């Protein structure tokens, strides 16, 4: 497998040698799967260190739930939730820290506090100056596809050709960021599993992830505990670990460079085996 580099600030993260894991740290009281578990500064710090110990290669810290039907939180509230966590963890670990936000001001202050990557569910659509923030810091950026907003994205989303439309959306997002000073090597693309997609849309996207690799330095995907799993097995949100592991392994085989998950330890073990087979 050829090695590529994902550049984020002063770090060069190799892609292609193995599948990397982005551990989810929701510093919120209301996330769809683990709301409240890492809410509050000490809880968030403890959770972050647990994820690192379990094998996370990147920590993704978020202060606003973007589950289907969710309402936005204020800028001040989001900053209050995430900035102290980033400051604390950046002094306790050398692994890259990602800020999960679509607000450019949150991104700017998070990067100033020690984050390396911005994970933007809107690919810059919700904050027009996001490219300049990313460029100014030399940060990495994850550009994700979303159809609509978190509040309305699951209200009967439809596509004529889901892969073609999402590829086109992400291609244009990459062009926008590159035209405003962000290098292609600093960009990951994410098809946005569960963000304005029905079950069959999600399955097709996970099957065809490799087609997105040409757009950026690599592909990130987040199947963890998502509702599409219930559409297949009927499992409730707190009992989707086996299905998440299965989806992660298949995504890795189909071209994902980074998998974003809640359950880092078991997924990391499974990916070690699948990586050994694949590579």
From 67, 108, 226, 240, the catalytic residue: 226
CATH ID of 18-278, from 3.40.50.920, 1.20.58.760, 3.20.20.20, 1.20.1600.10? 3.20.20.20
Residue 30's pLDDT is: 57
φ, ψ of residue 174 to 5 degrees: the values are -60, -45
Identify the pLDDT of residue 274. 97
Please report the beta strands in the chain, taking only residues with DSSP state E, as ranges in sequence order.
4-8, 11-15, 20-26, 58-62, 97-100, 117-120, 140-144, 187-190, 218-221, 258-261
What is the pTM (predicted TM-score) of this model?
Answer: 0.94
Give the chain's residues under pLDDT 70: 1-2, 30-39
What's the pLDDT at 154?
85
Q: Is 9 one of the annotated active-site residues of the chain?
A: no
Tell me what pLDDT residue 40 has: 77
The reported pLDDT for the residue numbered 33 is: 53
Q: What's the pLDDT at 150?
A: 84
pLDDT at 38: 59
Query: Quick one: how far is CA 88 from the chain centroid?
Result: 21
pLDDT of res. 32: 47
Residue among 260, 269, 272, 279 flagged as catalytic: 260
Give yes or no: 272 in active site: no
């Amino acid at each position: 497998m050829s090695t590529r580099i994902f550049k984020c600030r002063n770090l060069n993260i190799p892609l292609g040698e193995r599948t990397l894991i982005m551990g989810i740290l929701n510093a919120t009281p209301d996330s769809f799967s683990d709301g409240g578990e890492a809410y509050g500064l000490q809880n968030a710090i403890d959770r972050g260190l647990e994820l690192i110990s379990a094998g996370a290669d990147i920590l993704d810290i978020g202060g606003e739930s973007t589950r289907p039907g969710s309402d936005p939180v204020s800028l001040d509230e989001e900053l209050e939730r995430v900035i102290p966590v980033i400051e604390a963890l950046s002094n306790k670990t050398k692994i890259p820290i990602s800020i999960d936000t679509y607000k450019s001001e949150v991104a700017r202050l998070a990067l100033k506090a020690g984050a390396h990557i911005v994970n933007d569910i809107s690919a810059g659509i919700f904050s027009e100056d996001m490219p300049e923030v990313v460029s100014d810091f030399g940060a990495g950026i994850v550009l994700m596809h979303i159809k609509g907003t978190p509040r309305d994205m699951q209200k009967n989303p439809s596509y004529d050709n889901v892969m073609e439309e999402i590829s086109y959306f992400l291609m244009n997002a990459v062009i926008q960021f590159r035209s405003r000073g962000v290098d292609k090597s600093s960009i990951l693309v994410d098809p946005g599993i569960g963000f304005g997609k029905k079950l069959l849309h999600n399955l097709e996207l996970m099957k065809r992830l490799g087609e997105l690799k040409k757009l950026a330095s690599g592909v990130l995907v987040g199947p963890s505990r998502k509702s599409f799993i219930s559409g297949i097995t009927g499992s409730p949100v707190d009992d989707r670990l086996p299905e998440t592991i299965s989806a992660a392994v298949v995504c890795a085989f189909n071209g994902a460079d980074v998998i974003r998950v809640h359950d880092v330890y078991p997924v990391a073990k499974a990916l070690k085996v699948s990586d050994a087979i694949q590579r």
